[in-house]
Amino acid sequence: MFIYILIGVALVQTVGGLLQGNNHPATTSSPDGTALHQTLGLLVVELDKRVVELDKRVVELDKGVNDLQNKVAAMESERHQYVEKTTQLEQALSTERLRVESLQQVLDGHDVSLASILSENSLQKNATMLLNSTVLSLLFEHEDLRSNFEYMKNVSMSLMEKDISNMNAQIRRILSFEVSLSGNLSHVQNVIHDLNANFHRDKPGFTAYLDGSFQDDGTIILPHVYSNIGSVYNPTTGIFAADQSGDYAFYLGVECAGNGMKLIDLLKDGSMVAHTACLPKNGATFYGSTFVVLHVEKGSKIWITNSRHEHIGLTGKTTLSGFLLSN
């Protein structure tokens, strides 16, 4: 539409210019109209020229329009590509944010696990420090263990496992009333389970006891032997001699009668490693015991002796037991 308007304007301007250029008396006054025909012919020629020029301009304008359309299409394609790339970048950024959040959660979980491990290690160290004193105090406090070790003298080896099971039940009942020691219950049970398992292994061990009474000072000899695996205990001298190095468990239970105090020491190569006390009153019978686990080298000797007696005699339930835990 715009092109046709341009063509009309150009034609009007051309005709007007020609008319103005040929408007003289000779032309208009020609009787035969020759001058007018000449003018019109020139006008037609000039119009043809203008039409050709307009066609050229139209072609140039069409070409420009096509170029502009191509550029617009290219820009639109670039815009779509930019939008797609922007969307992809936003998705990648969202994914990276999720990964960072996941890694942060994992790191937080690791921090919590590390704190828990450090706390558990601290509790285990404290429990280990209290272990020896806990076991020893439990055995001192509860005289029910006396009857279990008395059975060890009178029953066969097959019944000893049942006796130790009874000891486990008694210790569990005792520990239920000791809230502060509840954390050590499982460890004590494991120790007793290990002791029970060692009765069934071919490892050196013995149980000796006194049948009657004994009042002499010095080394206490228990002449009667219930068991003596490996012949490690000498009932004549009352001395245990280790035939191999390792960790040994020793139990000493004494029964006395009279009035006063009697202290019995457990010696290793002449040095005291444990002791127990017997405190009878008014002639009544009293019972004391101790239990110890220690490392013994091959050739070392273990025996018991009076350290304070006050004329108090030992009676028939005095017992000494020892056996190898591990080497």
pLDDT score, position 24:
47
Same domain for 263 and 160: no
Same domain for 263 and 185: no
Model confidence at 27: pLDDT above 50: no
CATH number at residue 301: 2.60.120.40
Distance between CA 274 and CA 53 in Å, rounded?
Answer: 129
Count of other CB atoms within 10 angstroms of residue 73 = 10
Among residues 180, 200, 220, the one where a domain terminates is: 200
Same domain for 221 and 163: no
Same domain for 206 and 192: no
pLDDT tens by residue, 207-251 = 999 876 666 667 888 999 999 999 999 999 999 999 999 999 999
Same domain for 265 and 254: yes
Residue 136 lies in a domain: no
Among residues 183, 200, 217, the one where a domain terminates is: 200
Same domain for 163 and 95: no
Q: Please tell me the total count of domains within the chain.
A: 3
Q: Is the dihedral of CA 225, 227, 231, 233 positive or negative?
A: negative
Listed range (20-29, 147-156, 259-268) with the worst mean pLDDT: 20-29
What's the predicted TM-score (pTM) here?
0.40
Same domain for 190 and 208: no
Residue 190 lies in domain:
142-200
Same domain for 324 and 206: yes
pLDDT score, position 320:
95
pLDDT score, position 8:
64
Q: Give the residue among 148, 170, 145 at the shortest CA–CA distance from 159.
A: 148
